[in-house]
Chain A
Amino acid sequence: MNDYDLSTMVRESVADIHSATPVAQIISQGRAVRARRRIPSAVTGLAVITAAAAVLGLGLSGAFGSASAHRAGAFETAAFTLVKHANGTATLTIHPNELLDTAALQSDLHQDGIPALVNSGSFCFSDPKPAGFAQVVSFYPMPSPQVRNTPPGQATITFHPAAMPAGTELSFGVFQLSSGGQQADFALIDATSYTCTSSPPPFSSRDGVELLTGSPAG
Protein backbone atom coordinates (compact mmCIF):
# COMPACT_ATOMS: atom_id res chain seq x y z
CA MET A 1 0.00 0.00 0.00
CA ASN A 2 1.69 3.25 -1.10
CA ASP A 3 1.20 6.74 0.41
CA TYR A 4 -1.33 7.71 -2.25
CA ASP A 5 -3.53 4.66 -1.61
CA LEU A 6 -3.29 5.22 2.12
CA SER A 7 -4.17 8.92 1.83
CA THR A 8 -7.14 8.07 -0.38
CA MET A 9 -8.31 5.47 2.12
CA VAL A 10 -8.15 8.00 4.98
CA ARG A 11 -10.01 10.63 2.94
CA GLU A 12 -12.69 8.18 1.89
CA SER A 13 -13.13 6.99 5.45
CA VAL A 14 -14.71 10.34 6.38
CA ALA A 15 -16.25 11.22 3.03
CA ASP A 16 -19.77 10.51 4.26
CA ILE A 17 -19.46 12.95 7.16
CA HIS A 18 -21.45 16.13 6.58
CA SER A 19 -22.07 19.15 8.76
CA ALA A 20 -25.60 19.10 10.13
CA THR A 21 -25.77 22.73 11.24
CA PRO A 22 -27.67 25.22 9.05
CA VAL A 23 -25.78 28.38 8.17
CA ALA A 24 -28.53 30.52 9.74
CA GLN A 25 -27.78 28.94 13.10
CA ILE A 26 -24.08 29.67 12.72
CA ILE A 27 -24.79 33.30 11.83
CA SER A 28 -27.08 33.67 14.80
CA GLN A 29 -24.42 32.17 17.08
CA GLY A 30 -21.83 34.48 15.50
CA ARG A 31 -23.97 37.54 16.14
CA ALA A 32 -24.07 36.66 19.82
CA VAL A 33 -20.27 36.34 19.82
CA ARG A 34 -19.95 39.67 18.03
CA ALA A 35 -22.39 41.40 20.35
CA ARG A 36 -20.50 40.23 23.43
CA ARG A 37 -17.30 41.64 21.93
CA ARG A 38 -18.83 44.92 20.81
CA ILE A 39 -20.56 46.08 23.97
CA PRO A 40 -17.48 47.57 25.68
CA SER A 41 -16.45 49.52 22.59
CA ALA A 42 -19.98 50.77 22.06
CA VAL A 43 -19.90 52.62 25.34
CA THR A 44 -16.34 53.98 25.30
CA GLY A 45 -14.16 56.11 23.10
CA LEU A 46 -16.95 58.24 21.75
CA ALA A 47 -16.65 61.66 20.24
CA VAL A 48 -19.17 63.46 18.13
CA ILE A 49 -18.64 65.98 16.00
CA THR A 50 -21.13 68.64 15.40
CA ALA A 51 -24.75 69.45 15.71
CA ALA A 52 -26.77 71.95 13.85
CA ALA A 53 -29.78 72.09 16.09
CA ALA A 54 -31.01 69.56 18.53
CA VAL A 55 -32.26 69.44 22.06
CA LEU A 56 -32.17 65.86 23.25
CA GLY A 57 -33.95 64.76 26.36
CA LEU A 58 -32.49 61.33 26.99
CA GLY A 59 -28.77 61.95 27.08
CA LEU A 60 -26.39 59.19 28.09
CA SER A 61 -28.62 56.92 30.10
CA GLY A 62 -30.06 55.17 27.07
CA ALA A 63 -26.72 54.17 25.66
CA PHE A 64 -25.15 52.98 28.88
CA GLY A 65 -28.24 51.46 30.47
CA SER A 66 -29.31 49.50 27.47
CA ALA A 67 -25.81 48.28 26.73
CA SER A 68 -25.50 46.57 30.06
CA ALA A 69 -28.84 44.83 29.49
CA HIS A 70 -28.03 43.69 25.98
CA ARG A 71 -28.02 39.99 25.14
CA ALA A 72 -29.58 40.02 21.70
CA GLY A 73 -28.08 40.14 18.21
CA ALA A 74 -26.05 42.79 16.52
CA PHE A 75 -25.29 43.90 13.01
CA GLU A 76 -21.94 45.21 12.00
CA THR A 77 -20.47 46.69 8.87
CA ALA A 78 -17.28 48.64 8.41
CA ALA A 79 -19.27 51.84 8.79
CA PHE A 80 -21.67 51.02 11.62
CA THR A 81 -22.61 48.64 14.39
CA LEU A 82 -26.24 48.22 15.35
CA VAL A 83 -26.92 46.44 18.63
CA LYS A 84 -30.43 45.50 19.69
CA HIS A 85 -30.97 45.56 23.45
CA ALA A 86 -33.25 43.47 25.58
CA ASN A 87 -35.25 46.55 26.61
CA GLY A 88 -36.31 47.17 23.02
CA THR A 89 -33.88 49.98 22.30
CA ALA A 90 -31.10 49.75 19.73
CA THR A 91 -27.75 51.50 19.66
CA LEU A 92 -26.20 52.57 16.38
CA THR A 93 -22.49 53.34 16.43
CA ILE A 94 -21.23 55.12 13.35
CA HIS A 95 -17.58 54.50 12.68
CA PRO A 96 -15.71 57.46 11.23
CA ASN A 97 -14.03 57.44 7.85
CA GLU A 98 -16.18 54.62 6.49
CA LEU A 99 -18.89 54.99 3.89
CA LEU A 100 -22.30 54.11 5.22
CA ASP A 101 -24.17 51.36 3.40
CA THR A 102 -27.60 52.94 3.57
CA ALA A 103 -29.48 49.90 2.26
CA ALA A 104 -27.88 47.67 4.88
CA LEU A 105 -28.59 50.17 7.63
CA GLN A 106 -32.24 50.52 6.62
CA SER A 107 -32.63 46.74 6.46
CA ASP A 108 -30.95 46.23 9.82
CA LEU A 109 -33.03 48.96 11.48
CA HIS A 110 -36.19 47.32 10.15
CA GLN A 111 -35.07 43.96 11.50
CA ASP A 112 -34.63 45.59 14.89
CA GLY A 113 -38.20 46.93 14.75
CA ILE A 114 -37.28 50.48 13.81
CA PRO A 115 -39.15 51.72 10.75
CA ALA A 116 -36.67 53.92 8.94
CA LEU A 117 -36.07 55.55 5.62
CA VAL A 118 -32.32 55.72 4.99
CA ASN A 119 -31.11 57.64 1.97
CA SER A 120 -27.76 58.56 0.57
CA GLY A 121 -27.56 61.99 -1.01
CA SER A 122 -31.08 62.91 -0.05
CA PHE A 123 -33.10 63.54 3.05
CA CYS A 124 -36.83 63.16 3.63
CA PHE A 125 -38.90 65.29 6.00
CA SER A 126 -42.52 65.98 6.80
CA ASP A 127 -44.23 69.32 7.10
CA PRO A 128 -45.71 69.58 9.65
CA LYS A 129 -43.16 67.54 11.56
CA PRO A 130 -44.41 64.83 13.89
CA ALA A 131 -43.67 65.52 17.55
CA GLY A 132 -41.59 63.25 19.73
CA PHE A 133 -38.19 63.10 18.04
CA ALA A 134 -36.35 63.77 21.30
CA GLN A 135 -38.10 60.79 22.90
CA VAL A 136 -37.24 58.48 20.01
CA VAL A 137 -33.56 59.25 19.42
CA SER A 138 -30.78 60.09 21.84
CA PHE A 139 -27.14 60.71 21.08
CA TYR A 140 -23.84 60.25 22.80
CA PRO A 141 -21.98 62.51 23.10
CA MET A 142 -24.91 64.90 23.03
CA PRO A 143 -24.48 67.23 20.10
CA SER A 144 -24.30 70.90 20.81
CA PRO A 145 -23.05 73.88 18.88
CA GLN A 146 -20.10 74.07 21.28
CA VAL A 147 -18.55 70.81 20.03
CA ARG A 148 -18.48 71.88 16.45
CA ASN A 149 -15.31 70.86 14.62
CA THR A 150 -14.04 68.53 17.31
CA PRO A 151 -11.73 65.78 16.05
CA PRO A 152 -13.55 63.02 14.20
CA GLY A 153 -14.77 60.14 16.28
CA GLN A 154 -17.59 57.66 16.70
CA ALA A 155 -21.14 58.81 17.07
CA THR A 156 -23.48 56.61 19.08
CA ILE A 157 -27.20 56.97 18.62
CA THR A 158 -29.79 55.16 20.70
CA PHE A 159 -33.22 54.50 19.22
CA HIS A 160 -36.32 54.00 21.33
CA PRO A 161 -38.80 52.49 18.87
CA ALA A 162 -41.50 52.12 21.52
CA ALA A 163 -41.62 55.93 21.77
CA MET A 164 -42.31 56.38 18.06
CA PRO A 165 -45.78 57.82 17.46
CA ALA A 166 -48.01 55.61 15.31
CA GLY A 167 -47.60 56.22 11.60
CA THR A 168 -44.13 57.71 11.87
CA GLU A 169 -40.75 56.61 10.58
CA LEU A 170 -37.23 57.73 11.21
CA SER A 171 -35.66 59.57 8.32
CA PHE A 172 -31.91 59.24 7.99
CA GLY A 173 -30.11 61.10 5.21
CA VAL A 174 -26.41 60.65 4.55
CA PHE A 175 -24.41 63.20 2.57
CA GLN A 176 -20.79 62.95 1.51
CA LEU A 177 -18.89 66.14 2.24
CA SER A 178 -16.18 67.60 0.07
CA SER A 179 -13.92 67.48 3.15
CA GLY A 180 -14.09 63.68 3.02
CA GLY A 181 -16.40 63.29 5.99
CA GLN A 182 -20.08 62.48 6.10
CA GLN A 183 -23.09 64.40 7.28
CA ALA A 184 -25.97 62.40 8.69
CA ASP A 185 -29.35 64.01 9.28
CA PHE A 186 -32.07 62.45 11.38
CA ALA A 187 -35.71 63.38 11.75
CA LEU A 188 -39.07 61.84 12.50
CA ILE A 189 -41.45 61.83 9.55
CA ASP A 190 -45.05 61.04 8.82
CA ALA A 191 -44.79 57.74 6.92
CA THR A 192 -47.63 58.75 4.61
CA SER A 193 -46.63 62.33 3.93
CA TYR A 194 -43.09 63.47 3.38
CA THR A 195 -40.88 65.27 0.89
CA CYS A 196 -37.32 64.38 -0.05
CA THR A 197 -34.60 66.86 -0.91
CA SER A 198 -31.10 66.47 -2.21
CA SER A 199 -29.80 68.99 0.31
CA PRO A 200 -30.25 68.77 4.07
CA PRO A 201 -32.89 71.17 5.32
CA PRO A 202 -32.27 73.59 8.18
CA PHE A 203 -33.46 72.24 11.50
CA SER A 204 -35.12 74.01 14.32
CA SER A 205 -34.94 72.93 17.93
CA ARG A 206 -36.41 69.44 18.63
CA ASP A 207 -36.99 68.74 14.95
CA GLY A 208 -34.02 66.49 14.37
CA VAL A 209 -30.27 66.41 14.47
CA GLU A 210 -27.36 66.63 12.10
CA LEU A 211 -24.05 64.88 12.71
CA LEU A 212 -20.77 65.11 10.94
CA THR A 213 -18.51 62.07 11.01
CA GLY A 214 -15.07 61.55 9.58
CA SER A 215 -13.11 64.59 8.58
CA PRO A 216 -14.23 67.76 10.30
CA ALA A 217 -16.18 70.19 8.21
CA GLY A 218 -13.62 72.87 8.81
Chain B
Amino acid sequence: MGVGTQQLDFAEFYRGTADECLRAVLVSVGDQDTAQELVDEAYARAWASWRTVSRHPAPKAWVVRTALNASISRWRRRRREVPVPDPAKVADLPATSGPLVSLVDPRIKAALLRLPARQRQVVALRLILDLDTARTAEVLGIAPGTVMAHLGRALAALRHDLQSELTQENRS
Protein backbone atom coordinates (compact mmCIF):
# COMPACT_ATOMS: atom_id res chain seq x y z
CA MET B 1 0.00 0.00 0.00
CA GLY B 2 1.50 3.36 -1.04
CA VAL B 3 1.74 6.38 1.18
CA GLY B 4 -1.10 8.08 -0.67
CA THR B 5 -3.37 5.10 -0.20
CA GLN B 6 -2.35 4.78 3.43
CA GLN B 7 -3.16 8.43 4.02
CA LEU B 8 -6.58 8.07 2.44
CA ASP B 9 -7.20 4.95 4.49
CA PHE B 10 -6.12 6.67 7.70
CA ALA B 11 -8.06 9.84 6.91
CA GLU B 12 -11.21 7.79 6.40
CA PHE B 13 -10.63 6.00 9.70
CA TYR B 14 -9.98 9.29 11.51
CA ARG B 15 -13.08 11.01 10.13
CA GLY B 16 -15.22 8.01 10.93
CA THR B 17 -14.06 7.51 14.52
CA ALA B 18 -12.54 10.73 15.90
CA ASP B 19 -15.76 12.10 17.40
CA GLU B 20 -16.58 8.79 19.04
CA CYS B 21 -13.08 8.38 20.48
CA LEU B 22 -13.07 11.99 21.71
CA ARG B 23 -16.39 11.42 23.50
CA ALA B 24 -15.13 8.22 25.09
CA VAL B 25 -11.94 9.88 26.34
CA LEU B 26 -13.93 12.91 27.46
CA VAL B 27 -16.17 10.74 29.63
CA SER B 28 -13.03 9.16 31.09
CA VAL B 29 -11.01 12.30 31.83
CA GLY B 30 -13.79 14.85 32.29
CA ASP B 31 -12.20 17.80 30.49
CA GLN B 32 -12.69 18.45 26.79
CA ASP B 33 -9.42 20.26 26.11
CA THR B 34 -7.45 17.49 27.78
CA ALA B 35 -9.48 14.85 25.97
CA GLN B 36 -8.84 16.55 22.62
CA GLU B 37 -5.08 16.69 23.26
CA LEU B 38 -4.97 13.04 24.33
CA VAL B 39 -7.01 11.88 21.34
CA ASP B 40 -4.92 13.93 18.91
CA GLU B 41 -1.77 12.41 20.35
CA ALA B 42 -3.23 8.91 20.14
CA TYR B 43 -4.26 9.38 16.50
CA ALA B 44 -0.80 10.74 15.66
CA ARG B 45 0.69 7.59 17.13
CA ALA B 46 -1.85 5.54 15.20
CA TRP B 47 -0.71 7.18 11.97
CA ALA B 48 2.93 6.63 12.91
CA SER B 49 2.19 2.91 13.25
CA TRP B 50 -0.64 2.73 10.75
CA ARG B 51 0.49 -0.51 9.15
CA THR B 52 0.06 -2.21 12.52
CA VAL B 53 -2.92 -0.28 13.84
CA SER B 54 -4.91 -0.69 10.63
CA ARG B 55 -4.76 -4.45 11.13
CA HIS B 56 -5.86 -4.21 14.76
CA PRO B 57 -9.24 -5.90 15.32
CA ALA B 58 -10.60 -2.69 16.89
CA PRO B 59 -8.47 0.30 15.86
CA LYS B 60 -10.68 2.80 17.68
CA ALA B 61 -10.18 0.81 20.89
CA TRP B 62 -6.43 1.05 20.24
CA VAL B 63 -6.76 4.83 19.95
CA VAL B 64 -8.77 5.18 23.16
CA ARG B 65 -6.46 2.89 25.09
CA THR B 66 -3.45 4.87 23.84
CA ALA B 67 -5.15 8.11 24.88
CA LEU B 68 -5.97 6.75 28.33
CA ASN B 69 -2.42 5.46 28.75
CA ALA B 70 -1.13 8.89 27.75
CA SER B 71 -3.45 10.41 30.32
CA ILE B 72 -1.95 8.25 33.05
CA SER B 73 1.61 9.02 31.86
CA ARG B 74 0.79 12.70 31.78
CA TRP B 75 -0.64 12.57 35.29
CA ARG B 76 2.47 10.76 36.57
CA ARG B 77 4.77 13.33 34.95
CA ARG B 78 2.82 16.25 36.32
CA ARG B 79 2.58 14.71 39.75
CA ARG B 80 6.36 15.00 39.93
CA GLU B 81 6.24 18.66 38.91
CA VAL B 82 3.25 20.21 40.67
CA PRO B 83 0.64 18.78 43.00
CA VAL B 84 -2.40 17.63 41.00
CA PRO B 85 -5.23 15.40 42.10
CA ASP B 86 -5.21 11.67 41.49
CA PRO B 87 -7.32 11.01 38.36
CA ALA B 88 -9.13 8.36 40.37
CA LYS B 89 -10.35 11.15 42.64
CA VAL B 90 -11.17 13.60 39.87
CA ALA B 91 -14.82 12.81 40.45
CA ASP B 92 -14.63 14.97 43.53
CA LEU B 93 -13.53 17.98 41.53
CA PRO B 94 -16.01 20.74 40.73
CA ALA B 95 -17.11 21.04 37.13
CA THR B 96 -14.57 22.81 34.95
CA SER B 97 -15.42 25.71 32.75
CA GLY B 98 -15.10 25.58 28.99
CA PRO B 99 -16.93 24.03 26.07
CA LEU B 100 -17.79 20.89 27.99
CA VAL B 101 -20.04 22.82 30.33
CA SER B 102 -22.09 24.18 27.49
CA LEU B 103 -22.14 20.99 25.40
CA VAL B 104 -22.68 18.32 28.04
CA ASP B 105 -25.71 18.25 30.31
CA PRO B 106 -24.21 19.44 33.63
CA ARG B 107 -26.26 16.94 35.65
CA ILE B 108 -24.95 14.01 33.65
CA LYS B 109 -21.45 15.36 33.62
CA ALA B 110 -21.50 15.78 37.41
CA ALA B 111 -22.87 12.27 37.85
CA LEU B 112 -20.18 10.83 35.55
CA LEU B 113 -17.43 12.70 37.35
CA ARG B 114 -18.58 11.28 40.66
CA LEU B 115 -17.89 7.77 39.40
CA PRO B 116 -14.50 6.19 40.17
CA ALA B 117 -12.05 6.45 37.23
CA ARG B 118 -12.28 2.76 36.31
CA GLN B 119 -16.08 2.88 36.18
CA ARG B 120 -15.92 5.95 33.94
CA GLN B 121 -13.55 4.09 31.63
CA VAL B 122 -15.92 1.15 31.43
CA VAL B 123 -18.85 3.49 30.72
CA ALA B 124 -16.77 5.20 28.02
CA LEU B 125 -15.80 2.00 26.27
CA ARG B 126 -19.08 0.11 26.65
CA LEU B 127 -21.61 2.90 26.17
CA ILE B 128 -19.83 5.54 24.09
CA LEU B 129 -17.47 3.43 22.02
CA ASP B 130 -19.96 0.55 21.96
CA LEU B 131 -17.31 -2.12 22.56
CA ASP B 132 -18.47 -5.48 23.82
CA THR B 133 -17.52 -6.79 27.25
CA ALA B 134 -14.65 -8.93 26.00
CA ARG B 135 -13.01 -6.10 24.02
CA THR B 136 -13.50 -3.67 26.89
CA ALA B 137 -11.84 -6.14 29.23
CA GLU B 138 -8.94 -6.50 26.80
CA VAL B 139 -8.49 -2.74 26.41
CA LEU B 140 -8.50 -2.14 30.15
CA GLY B 141 -6.52 -5.26 31.02
CA ILE B 142 -9.16 -6.59 33.40
CA ALA B 143 -11.43 -9.64 33.48
CA PRO B 144 -14.75 -9.58 31.58
CA GLY B 145 -16.57 -10.23 34.85
CA THR B 146 -14.93 -7.15 36.33
CA VAL B 147 -16.11 -5.08 33.37
CA MET B 148 -19.67 -6.23 33.95
CA ALA B 149 -19.41 -5.50 37.66
CA HIS B 150 -18.02 -1.99 37.01
CA LEU B 151 -20.72 -1.26 34.45
CA GLY B 152 -23.46 -2.49 36.78
CA ARG B 153 -22.18 -0.32 39.64
CA ALA B 154 -21.72 2.68 37.36
CA LEU B 155 -25.26 2.44 35.99
CA ALA B 156 -26.65 2.02 39.47
CA ALA B 157 -24.77 5.09 40.70
CA LEU B 158 -25.79 7.15 37.67
CA ARG B 159 -29.42 6.08 38.06
CA HIS B 160 -29.38 7.02 41.73
CA ASP B 161 -27.80 10.42 41.08
CA LEU B 162 -29.92 11.34 38.10
CA GLN B 163 -33.20 10.11 39.57
CA SER B 164 -32.53 12.07 42.75
CA GLU B 165 -31.99 15.21 40.70
CA LEU B 166 -35.07 14.57 38.58
CA THR B 167 -37.15 14.03 41.72
CA GLN B 168 -35.87 17.28 43.22
CA GLU B 169 -36.64 19.12 39.97
CA ASN B 170 -40.19 17.74 39.94
CA ARG B 171 -40.76 18.85 43.55
CA SER B 172 -39.54 22.40 42.97
Contact = CB atoms under 8 A, between A and B. Distances in A.
A30 interface: yes
B118 interface: no
A159 B148 CA distance: 57
Contacts of A6: 155, 158-159, 162
A103 interface: yes
Interface residues of B, number: 46
Nearest to B11: A23
B36 A104 contact: no
A87 B18 CA distance: 35
B103 to A, nearest CB: 5
A71 to B, nearest CB: 15
B3 A107 contact: yes
Interface string B5-30: 01100110011001101110011000
Contacts of B11: 23, 27
B3 A76 contact: yes
B126 to A, nearest CB: 8
A78 B1 CA distance: 8
Interface in A73-116: 75-78, 101, 103-104, 107-108
B104 interface: yes
A30 B162 contact: no
Interface stretch (A13-21, A129-137, A150-158): A13-21
Nearest to A34: B48
A33 B155 contact: no
Interface string A1-44: 10100110111011111111101011101111110010000000
A77 B3 contact: yes
Contact of B104 (A14, A29, A77, A78): A14
10 contacts: A6-B162, A10-B123, A14-B103, A21-B18, A25-B40, A29-B47, A30-B45, A33-B45, A37-B48, A104-B4
Interface of A: 1, 3, 6-7, 9-11, 13-21, 23, 25-27, 29-34, 37, 75-78, 101, 103-104, 107-108
Interface of B: 1-4, 6-7, 10-11, 14-15, 18-19, 21-23, 26-27, 32, 36, 39-41, 43-51, 100, 103-105, 108-109, 112, 123, 127-128, 155, 158-159, 162-163
Given A1-B159, A13-B108, 5 more contacts: A13-B104, A19-B18, A23-B11, A29-B40, A104-B4
